[in-house]
Structure 1
Amino acid sequence: MSRFDLTEYDRCTVEAARRALSAAESVNLLDGSAMARMIGRLEVAVERLIEMVDAAPGADVVRCPAAHPEDLTPCGGPVVVTIIDKQDAGADGCEHHAARMLASITGAHPVAKPNAPAGVAARVFRAAHHTHPFAWLGARS
């Protein structure tokens, strides 16, 4: 029996925190940039877990604008890119949801936010290349 009644979104939040913690074990401690990124990811993971525990039942979870309403996965960090489509419309997003959005829109491209880490747009582009379009649909797509 579970200690808590977790929603699918809560389970995704916990899994994202586990992945962030696991990834932290392999960070090069001499690479200041990698350490800073990892600390940021861990901060976000802990914030999400605290929000999950402190949230009132039925409360809305704030997610990045790039997250599709049917996509229950938690954000993968702060908003770092804008996905621009063919009509020059854009949506800001975390790396995770921006990659999912980019994979689902033909002719779109990522643009890094001014204070984003170096190379973030390239990472989102590569992640989108390895992401199925409309990944949140799972077996329905």
Structure 2
Amino acid sequence: MNMKEKKIVGYIIIGFFLIYIISFFIRNENEKFTISLVNNNLLIKFPNKIFVKDYAIKDYEETNQSNINKIFEYKTILEKEYYQEVNEVFIRDISNYGIKENHAYFYTMFQEDNKNSSKKLKSLGFCIKKDFVLVQGSREKDSDFINKCH
């Protein structure tokens, strides 16, 4: 290999390395969360132990509209104060809350970070398809995800 070819190979390697680093930083934090179905229960796992202040499951498809302010609010299916530091949240007997297959929902939670005492809101769209949970992609449009659930 001559000097020119070595430079080109070097630039290509540096380019791939930069692309890898950039993709690492712009990755959506929600993609690190997983939701799975265990019998009639939902298991939400986090990449690290976090302090969950409260969580809710809301109906992604049904909204209530305030005519005065034109505000849309998603129908709350389940809401719970939690106040625990955990690696996962286990929601038992989801059918008791009316959660059904082929319908879009989203899980929201307020978490507190050790480094920053302010609360952070995290949200993740999901739907149940037979025996597994389909999770909304970080850049997926809401309407596309809802259609995929049906």
Greater length-normalized contact order (CA 8 Å, ≥ 6 residues apart): 2
TM-score (norm 2): 0.24
Q: Could you say which structure has the larger radius of gyration?
A: 2
Write 1 or 2 for the structure with the bigger share of strand.
Answer: 2
What TM-score do the two structures reach when normalised by structure 1? 0.25
Q: Higher helix share goes to which structure? A: 1
